[in-house]
């Protein structure tokens, strides 16, 4: 094994030496430095445009399928207002698969808008802040009852800040 590594090292050093020698000898040719620079710059120009084309292509193809563009257009807007200590939802009955945009704000202090399933597993959440309207895109994939809980301690009745959402099966 060691012998093998030794011979391999020799071969690689030989190759490297050959590349060096070839490089040095190429420098002895009578090509002017201006000619070398011209070739280099034209290569660089081509690389630059290839990068631009690749960058634009990759950006478009990877960013276009983002959910934002699709959900913004056809989603149902649900206004959510948080108060000490209750939630006001403009709607609380939805369909499975229906794209929803929860527009969440608060009228006093910071609250946390959290959606939980029947097993109390959290599905989605966003901050409810006074002076801001935060958007949460979500769509339910199973029918049933869901709970809205406050996720930020907001005072003495924080634990009471609950609401229920009913999700109906697909029509």
CA–CA dist 117, 59 (Å, integer): 36
- Closest to ligand CUA by CB, 94 or 111: 111
Using the contact rule CB under 6 A, the part of the chain among 19-27, 32-40, 45-53, 151-159 near ligand CUA is 151-159
CA–CA dist 105, 77 (Å, integer): 13
Sign of CA dihedral 153, 155, 158, 159: positive
- Closest to ligand CUA by CB, 111 or 167: 111
152 near ligand CUA, rule: CB under 6 A: yes
- Closest to ligand CUA by CB, 115 or 150: 150
Pair 43, 61: CB distance under 8 Å: no
20 near ligand CUA, rule: CB under 6 A: no
161 near ligand CUA, rule: CB under 6 A: yes
- Closest to ligand CUA by CB, 101 or 111: 111
CB of 126 to ligand CUA, least distance (A): 13
CA–CA dist 102, 120 (Å, integer): 20
CA–CA dist 41, 153 (Å, integer): 62
150 near ligand CUA, rule: CB under 6 A: yes
- Assign residue 32 a region (left: φ > 0; alpha: ψ between -120 and 50; beta: otherwise): beta
The footprint of ligand CUA on residues 24-83 (CB under 6 A) is none
CA–CA dist 138, 152 (Å, integer): 20
- Closest to ligand CUA by CB, 85 or 137: 85
154 near ligand CUA, rule: CB under 6 A: yes
* Residues at the contact surface with ligand CUA, assessed by CB under 6 A: 85, 111, 150, 152-154, 158, 161
């Amino acid at each position: 094994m060691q012998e093998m590594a030794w011979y391999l090292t020799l071969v690689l050093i030989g190759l490297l030496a050959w590349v060096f020698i070839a490089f040095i000898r190429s420098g002895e040719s009578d090509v002017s430095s201006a000619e070398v620079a011209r070739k280099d710059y034209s290569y660089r120009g081509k690389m630059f445009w290839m990068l631009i084309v690749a960058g634009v292509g990759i950006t478009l193809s990877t960013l276009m399928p983002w959910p934002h563009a699709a959900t913004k257009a056809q989603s149902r807007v649900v206004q959510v207002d948080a108060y000490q200590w209750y939630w006001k939802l403009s709607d609380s009955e939805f369909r499975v698969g229906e794209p929803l945009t929860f527009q969440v704000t608060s009228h006093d202090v910071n609250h946390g808008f959290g959606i939980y399933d029947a097993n109390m597993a959290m599905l989605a959440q966003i901050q409810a802040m006074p002076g801001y309207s935060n958007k949460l895109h979500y769509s339910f994939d199973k029918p049933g009852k869901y709970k809205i809980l406050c996720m930020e301690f907001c005072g003495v009745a924080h634990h009471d800040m609950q609401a229920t959402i009913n999700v109906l099966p697909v029509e």
